[in-house]
Structure formats: structure tokens, C-alpha cells
Structure 1
Amino acid sequence: MAKIGVEQSLKNVQQALREKGFDVVELSQELDANGCDCCVITGLDSNVMGMQDTVISGPVIEANGLSADEVCQRVEQNLQ
């Protein structure tokens, strides 16, 4: 199953993804995203400095305004 990095504050999303069988890694620093197929972030502090250093080649999903189920759907769509 795919390895999904999820920002620390998104506990409900982490739980929902685990229930769907994904390997969930909590993102507390940039290096945690290494090896992830997809990452889920809050989007609240995204790109404050205007820098764009890419750590993963897979999709990054912004969870701001989405329910845990909606985030799961987007993860599944992006990994197909």
C-alpha cells in the first residue's frame, strides 16, 4: 500500500487513511516526506517564504477546508 505523509495536526486525516489501509507517516520535518508517495498538508503556512524546494515527486494535497473523507478521496484519485 502507498506511503502517505500527513502533517502532525491532521490527526483525523491520519486515522482515516490508516483505516483505508495506507501506511501513514507523520510529517514533523521536511525529511519525513522522503519516500512518501503523496503528502497531505494543512496549507495554513504553505510557502510563506516563497521558496519551492521539492522533497517528493508525488502529489501534495492541501487539506484546508476538506473533511477527512474528502482528503482520502483525493489521495486515492491521485494515486490511481
Structure 2
Amino acid sequence: MAKIGVEQSLTNIQQALREQGHDVIELRQNTDAEGCDCCVVTGLDSNVMGMSDVSTQGSVIEANGLSAEEVCRQVEDKVNQ
């Protein structure tokens, strides 16, 4: 399965993705995202300064307002593209 980076505060999403067989990496720093097929973030630290440093070529999913099931569905869609 895919290697998915998930922010550490999203434990319910981490567990749901593990149950689907994904290799889940807990994101703590920008460098943790390297090599991930997809990353799931809370969206609370959105780009306030208008600057960005790309640390992964994978898709980024903002989990704010989504259930774990909805996030898992989006991850599957992104990984299977």
C-alpha cells in the first residue's frame, strides 16, 4: 500500500488509514513528508505568510471539517490516480 504522512494530532485518521493497510508516518517536521505518496494535514497551519517550501511531490489533503472516512476516500482517490 501507499506511504501516507499524517499530522500527529490526527490520530483517528492515522488509525483508519492503518486499518486500510497503508504505511502511516506521523508528520512532526517538514522533512518527515519526504517520500510520502500523500500527506494529510489539519489545515490549521495554513500558509499565512504566503510562502511555501515543497518537501513532498505527493498530494496534500486538508482534513479540516472532514471525517476519517472522507479523508480515507480522498487518500484512495489520490493514490490511485
2:66 is aligned with 1:66: yes
Q: CA deviation at 1:46?
A: 1.3
Q: CA RMSD for the aligned pairs?
A: 0.6
Q: What TM-score, normalized to structure 1? A: 0.97
Deviates more, 1:9-18 or 1:44-53: 44-53
Q: CA deviation at 1:15?
A: 0.2
Which structure 2 segments of 5+ residues have no match? none
> 1:24-35 to 2 correspondence within 5 Å?
24-35=24-35
Counterparts of 2:24 and 2:68, CA distance in 1 = 14
> 1:1-80 to 2 correspondence within 5 Å?
1-80=1-80
Which structure 1 segments of 5+ residues have no match? none
2:65 aligned counterpart, secondary structure? coil
Q: What TM-score, normalized to structure 2? A: 0.95
- Residue 4 of structure 1 aligns to which amino acid in structure 2? I
Runs of 4+ in 1 over 2 A off after TM superposition: none
Counterparts of 1:57 and 1:32, CA distance in 2 = 13
Q: Percent identity at matched positions?
A: 71
